[in-house]
Structure 1
């Protein structure tokens, strides 16, 4: 009987140990399984509503999978102990301890990761390992101390000693939490500065004394996490129409109460501007620091202009070349703000200034020259002029690729070729116009030196978009599919943001105007206070594949000339006016083109990359 009892006990112990090993392996693998399932659903079921809901649930379950699995197994074993004769006490207790440890570790890891995310700090892999180790130590110490308290409670069955130990336990966990938070003090301070007022920050700094800090900081840290949870819940609930209605009514009541008690404040102009205007209307942000302020292209312009001013070079002309939407005009305006070594004159070329006398009058009026009817008169009057830099923006409006359409552009070339001693020319022109003019004239005939603006980096595109989004005073939330595309070791929001801007940069080819258009196209609910970013993508190219040669001739003319009206497109494309009108209407209907208020047409930035690629592939445009 004794040997049989020992055999049963050993068998039971072996089964429990085997179950524990299987359980540990399961806990280790389950986050990876969930991530792989997410990726499969993202790849194959993007447009199904049920899949999107499933992906959202998986994204919630992924960081919580380990402790939730342990809790489920705990309750299963608890049920087995009550309803069967199996003795699973070892597994039961170990699973209970593991569930508590995993829960504490998950909460600590989530809180610190949230702090890094809200502080807008990208977490490197080395930093991720440090976070995991800190959270592991905190959870381990907390678990051991709590288990010891339970054992003490069972043995002593309460009393003063248990109460005293409970107080010591709470203080110990509190100090352990402070030690963990203190390891990420800079991230905590940045997170706090983004959530509270400056008055609260000043009070917080006064409390940063050696004896007070360990008591105050954990409480503020917990408060910040609760505040973020409430904000996140608010963002999710804003998707519900009923909640939006309730929020609007509550806001209306608050506004009515505020207006009845205080004078009506002046509404800031930017609150009335539609969300798209923050991106598509550059005048909105004229007073804000420009991203091109530290551009190397500014240094190139400074060097050429400075060498001419100091007499180090005789060449007095510089061409600034760049693709449509790359930022040529913005760069020139930024340079004009910084340049203070000589007089400057900025001329924005009116669209399709095609006559030589029109260009000459435009320049003479800018310089206050009188009776300037030809180049001789211009040359004689510039003798009395102080050293001046003339900036001619959008010079691609000075020609039309038709007979007699190069008169104004040739006049500009004649003025530059005159080598006037008191004038330095800076001319900005679209890259495709520059390539076309090189085919018409030799490059050496045009300009003695030029700067080609390169496409923006991913960081530059990101900074541009986030600056403009921040100016709109709207909250930003990323689509569940972007959040689901991150690995379980990454901070979800930061990784989704990185993935989003990587896609935008790749699809825009680093052209800021195209990137802004892709962002606007991917943003949902722009009329509300919450912008939800879907997966950035350009329109499908299927609509382009069916375009006829007549369409492509007209679109190529628009790319080369930047913008044309119907009559000019008819003259340039050498097609009947009826075909040109149908082509322009078709382009408007399909979204390929945009029509300005003066009935001029230009390529929609959203289609710019794909359309230019098609035109080059079919030899309608040249590199």
Structure 2
């Protein structure tokens, strides 16, 4: 007879296997009904997303790497999917030329194509005299704002009235494009002097100068509630989400000269219907699947789509690009973030990133406390720090935005 100890070992093995199966099924069921395991760790893929993507980019051949670099679109033939937004800004220009007070705000996420839209608009109007500036640093105080405007206009401006007079007299008929208006304020007492100064100037010069401002939706919504930004822009043009077929058209045009070959997943390769297709039909099917997933994961954001594209590249040889399946990065762990982390993400979202000093200023906390908050969030991949500023990891931007909205941190 088999010893009791041996029989127990066999039963234990069977029970362990059964337990693991039950645990897996429970985990799957939890995700389906929205229950998150509180011990679920932050995905390693999230923490390493940007560095892994940069490494993948550096491994590409030099001639193809240029096509994968993130930069604004210059060729209008590659930008046909923004026709509706272009029509609106063209209409604004038309009305302004009729000596009417017209100002335009372009509202879109970073990477949605605002700079590209402006590029094509200006390309269509070589007759315009344009001043264009991209605001990188926080300018929340009036005196700093006046210094910045002095540099932009190449004039010494002592006060707001002087700026208005010079713009009316010397810049009549010109266009001024200001990108990243979200950097002209800080959410604190006295933190709106910079943007109020600019708005006062715009309100008095909107007939002489065609002002075009650009900012993120979160900043637009916040500024609308705090300083009534709609009162200063006669038209707000919101960039719509692009669709999968539009994203496909853009990428195929951008990577023209290279043949795409998409590798099927093991599951698709085994599918009977797929096996019956011709090689051409298989690639057409795989392309549709690939660009649908690319658009879904990037939420229509061109910059994020480009990052996922780079990560999907297997090889580039003889002008053929082989693309593998794009895997979704799990973000369920966001549900377990504590209130302090959610509040920090809210500040990053509204301000489109903050350096440590500005974060301390808007949260009214000592620098040491702020470092102890932000550095762990950066190391876990919630934030990135490409320069002095901390910003939300691009791959988490939309999930974070939705989470903050669901929890009433933003409206």
TM bucket, shorter chain: 0.7 to 0.9
Does the CA-based 8 Å contact 2:108-2:215 persist in structure 1? yes
Measured on the aligned residues, the alpha-carbon RMSD in Å equals: 3.0
Give the alignment partner of residue 88 of structure 2, picking from 289, 300, 306: 300
Q: 2:405: which partner in 1?
A: 616
Q: CA deviation at 1:271?
A: 4.9
- Give the distance between the partners of 1:353 and 1:462, measured in 2 at CA: 38
The structure-2 alpha-carbon separation of the partners of 1:365 and 1:578, relative to structure 1 and needing over 3 Å to count, comes to closer
Does the CA-based 8 Å contact 1:291-1:464 persist in structure 2? yes
Does the CA-based 8 Å contact 2:76-2:120 persist in structure 1? no
Q: How does 1:431-510 map to 2 (within 5 A)?
A: 431-470=217-256, 476-481=261-266, 483-484=268-269, 487-488=273-274, 490=277, 491-510=281-300
Give the alignment partner of residue 129 of structure 2, picking from 331, 335, 343: 343
The structure-2 alpha-carbon separation of the partners of 1:418 and 1:593, relative to structure 1 and needing over 3 Å to count, comes to same
- Give the distance between the partners of 1:296 and 1:616, measured in 2 at CA: 27
Q: 1:327: which partner in 2?
A: 113
Q: How does 1:508-527 map to 2 (within 5 A)?
A: 508-524=298-314
Q: How does 1:411-430 map to 2 (within 5 A)?
A: 411-430=197-216
Does the CA-based 8 Å contact 1:594-1:602 persist in structure 2? yes
Q: CA deviation at 1:468?
A: 4.1
Q: 1:590: which partner in 2?
A: 380
Q: CA deviation at 1:521?
A: 3.5
Does the CA-based 8 Å contact 2:185-2:195 persist in structure 1? yes
The structure-2 alpha-carbon separation of the partners of 1:469 and 1:603, relative to structure 1 and needing over 3 Å to count, comes to farther
SS of 1:353 mapped into structure 2: coil
Q: CA deviation at 1:501?
A: 0.8
Does residue 359 (structure 1) correspond to residue 145 (structure 2)? The answer is: yes
Does the CA-based 8 Å contact 1:550-1:579 persist in structure 2? no
Q: CA deviation at 1:463?
A: 2.5
The structure-2 alpha-carbon separation of the partners of 1:380 and 1:502, relative to structure 1 and needing over 3 Å to count, comes to same
- Give the distance between the partners of 1:536 and 1:486, measured in 2 at CA: 22
Does the CA-based 8 Å contact 1:563-1:602 persist in structure 2? yes
SS of 2:291 mapped into structure 1: helix
Does the CA-based 8 Å contact 1:483-1:493 persist in structure 2? no
SS of 1:538 mapped into structure 2: coil
Q: How does 1:137-286 map to 2 (within 5 A)?
A: 271-272=61-62, 275=65, 278-282=67-71, 286=74
SS of 1:535 mapped into structure 2: coil
What CA deviation, in whole Å up to 9, does each residue of 1:526-552 have, x standing for no partner?
A: 799875433323311133233211111
Does the CA-based 8 Å contact 1:566-1:581 persist in structure 2? yes
Does the CA-based 8 Å contact 1:482-1:535 persist in structure 2? no
SS of 2:161 mapped into structure 1: helix
Does residue 375 (structure 1) correspond to residue 160 (structure 2)? The answer is: yes
What CA deviation, in whole Å up to 9, does each residue of 1:189-240 have, x standing for no partner?
A: xxxxxxxxxxxxxxxxxxxxxxxxxxxxxxxxxxxxxxxxxxxxxxxxxxxx
- Gaps in structure 2 of 5+ consecutive residues: 1-24, 26-59
- Gaps in structure 1 of 5+ consecutive residues: 1-43, 45-269
Work out the number of aligned pairs and report it.
Answer: 347
The structure-2 alpha-carbon separation of the partners of 1:477 and 1:421, relative to structure 1 and needing over 3 Å to count, comes to closer
What CA deviation, in whole Å up to 9, does each residue of 1:323-365 have, x standing for no partner?
A: 2321112211221221234322111113212232333333343
Q: 1:398: which partner in 2?
A: 184
Q: CA deviation at 1:273?
A: 6.5
Which has more radius of gyration?
Answer: 1
* TM-score normalised by L of structure 2: 0.75
Does residue 385 (structure 1) correspond to residue 171 (structure 2)? The answer is: yes
The structure-2 alpha-carbon separation of the partners of 1:547 and 1:566, relative to structure 1 and needing over 3 Å to count, comes to same
- Give the distance between the partners of 2:163 and 2:123, measured in 1 at CA: 27
SS of 2:273 mapped into structure 1: coil
